[in-house]
Amino acid sequence: MTMWPGAVRCVVCEHSGADMMLVQVIETGSGPGRGQYACPSPCAQQYAKRFYAPDWLREDLYARGLWP
């Protein structure tokens, strides 16, 4: 699968768009991890409530005025 900036797909609603924010990094064990993206609002906000969401996601949302 090809991923390029500006055409990433939201992991929550599966829409694609240019204004996605990183919500999770999947560690592959070799090389850099693969990023997962979501719409800042509301998808990333919903994602941040999941138990496996990374701590830095809530900080990112807070910086954008989207958290809590």
Taking the complex as a whole, the smallest distance from the CB of residue 21 to Zn ion amounts, in Å, to 10
Shortest distance (Å) from residue 29 CB to Zn ion: 28
Site for Zn ion (CB under 5 A): which residue of 8, 21, 23, 39? 39
Alpha carbon distance 9, 17 (integer Å): 7
The interface region with Zn ion, picked from 1-9, 31-39, 46-54, 60-68 by CB under 5 A, is: 31-39
Q: Does 50 bind Zn ion (CB under 5 A)?
A: no
Kindly tell me which of 30 and 52 has the beta carbon lying closer to Zn ion. Answer: 52
Does residue 42 have a cis bond before it (omega within 30 degrees)?
Answer: yes
CA distance 10 to 36: 8
Q: How many CB atoms neighbour CB 21 within 10 A?
A: 20
